[in-house]
Amino acid sequence: MFSASILFVIAINEKQQFNRHLPQERLFMLMVYTNIVLCISDAIAWSLENSSGAFNYILNHIFSSSAFVAIPILTYTWFLYSIFNIFKDTALLEKYEKLMKPLIIVSVLLVIINSFTHFLYYLDENNCYHRGPLFYPYVFSCFSILIFTFGMIIYNKKKIRVDHFAPMLFFVVPTIITSILAIVMYGTAISWVGTTLAIFIIYLFIQSQRLGTDYLTNLYNRRQLNEYLQNQMRGRRNNEKFGIVMVDINKFKKINDNWGHTTGDEVLITHSKLLKSSFRAGEFIARYGGDEFIIVMKATCIEDIAAAVRRFMDSVERFNKTNIKPWTLSVSIGYDLYDPSISDLSIDELLNHVDRLMYKAKLATGTSAMTVEYKV
């Protein structure tokens, strides 16, 4: 019940910020509500153990059954949540979401059939719960989804933002550990305490993400950029060189004026996806302003940055060749290598410097895409 109380607080707070158009928020809320059902069902069912009377027997059966329906929903929702956070593909998510309804129907049917077969569980004449012969296969099939998701997260580590990886991975660990303990130590109801802890960690991660992430593009925002640059320039790694790149979308205002802000948002999202696919995993990408983006990357020389910029420009060119939209993506880029052994710029000075380089590229090319490099 303590776990359920924590989840209620999370649900109430999230409801105030909830955006049903965002798949990750819908899935997170489904996990919260499902885990509340599991916590309450488990608590009430255990409290009714050995209680006499037909009413108590019916209640015990109802809440025990609801837990068996909710278990696969929780595990499969986490799988969907991970799928979307890894691939950011709404079509792929919808494909797997279609399997949710059959999963719920199968779970309900199994629980209904269990009333006659007692394959999953049964209540004896003293209203005492006992596991049935198919209890372990049922639970294993559900938690095998968690194990599969755990492996999927590790396998796709390079596709996940560095600060996203640990919270996503952590969800599975306490859930599996407490579930194994609950199975082995029969009578100890701690499974959903583990999932509550995992959901609470994800909740903290979501709050942190909201503070440091741009809402539209899901890239880092300017606040996170300043903190990151401060660490790079003044932190423990102040002797390491790094590359900084500023990218500006050409004639973005004209796109908004001609086709509206919805198309403008589409351009920003497309541009962000090209940035993420062109630069390596672990390189810091932020939306600096309306149509300006900053990339901070590992580099030992200017040629490292030039090679990364060329990869991005090739991606833009390939996109434009296959693009069927009425607009064409064109960018101006300025970049440089920051060497702390010979430079002592502040964050604002460094950003202004690379902004000037980008502006030179824009003036030099007009509307076409080009890069300009310049040593500090």
Q: pLDDT, tens digit, for every residue of 279-316?
A: 987 789 999 988 999 999 989 899 999 999 999 999 99
* HSE toward the beta carbon, residue 336, CA cutoff 13 A: 19
Q: Residues 39, 178, 182, 30: is their CA dihedral positive or negative?
A: positive
Q: What per-residue confidence (pLDDT) applies to 370?
A: 40
pLDDT over 80 at 259, yes or no = yes
Better pLDDT: 67 or 168: 67
The rounded distance, in Å, linking the Cα atoms of 33 and 41 is 12
CB within 8 Å of 333: residues ≥ 6 apart: 245, 246, 247, 248, 309, 312, 313, 358, 361, 369, 370, 371, 372
Task: Provide the H-helix boundaries in 213-324.
Answer: 222-234, 252-259, 261-278, 302-322
pLDDT number for residue 282: 75
d(CA 368, CA 354): 19
| The pLDDT of residue 371 is above 50 | no
Q: Which pLDDT band holds residue 176 (cuts at 50, 70, 90)?
A: confident
**Model pLDDT for residues 68-81, shown as the tens digit of each residue:** 999 899 889 989 99
Q: Cα–Cα distance between 74 and 334 in angstroms, integer?
A: 47
pLDDT value at position 129? Answer: 92
User: DSSP 3-state assignment of 318?
Assistant: helix
What letters, b where the CB count within 10 A reaches 16 and e where it falls short, cover 169-189?
Answer: bebbebbbebbeebbeeeeee
pLDDT-derived band at 345 (thresholds 50, 70, 90) equals: confident
* Helix (H/G/I), strand (E/B), else coil: 19: coil
The three-state DSSP-derived secondary structure of 123-169 is ECCCCCEEECCCHHHHHHHHHHHHHHHHHHHHHCHHHCCHHHHHHHH
Supply the pLDDT for residue 182.
77
What integer best gives the mean pLDDT of the chain? 85
C-alpha 258/C-alpha 260 separation (Å) is 6
Average pLDDT over residues 242-263: 91
pLDDT at 17 over 90: no
Indicate the pLDDT class of residue 238, thresholds 50, 70 and 90: low
Do the Cβ atoms of 228 and 220 come closer than 8 Å? yes
Sole residue written with tokens 């999230």: 14
> Average pLDDT of 34-45?
91
Q: Report whether pLDDT(328) > 50.
A: yes
> What pLDDT was estimated at residue 158?
79
Find all residues with CB under 8 Å of 288, minimum gap 6, and list them: 222, 225, 246, 294, 351
Tell me what pLDDT residue 152 has.
93
Q: How far is CA 213 from CA 10, 33, 63, 220, in A?
A: 20, 25, 40, 4
User: What are the structural domains of the chain?
Assistant: 2-212 (1.20.1070.10), 222-373 (3.30.70.270)
Q: How confident is the model at residue 365 (pLDDT cuts 50, 70, 90)?
A: low
CA–CA separation, 29 and 20 (whole Å): 10
Tell me which of 41-55, 143-157, 199-213, 340-354 is least confident. Answer: 199-213
pLDDT tens digits for range 189-228: 677 788 888 888 888 877 777 777 887 888 889 988 988 8
Distances (CA, A) of 186 to 108, 129, 181: 24, 11, 8
Give 340: exposed, middle or buried? Use CB within 10 Å, 0-12, 13-18, 19+: middle
By CB atoms closer than 10 A (0-12, 13-18, 19+), residue 202 is buried
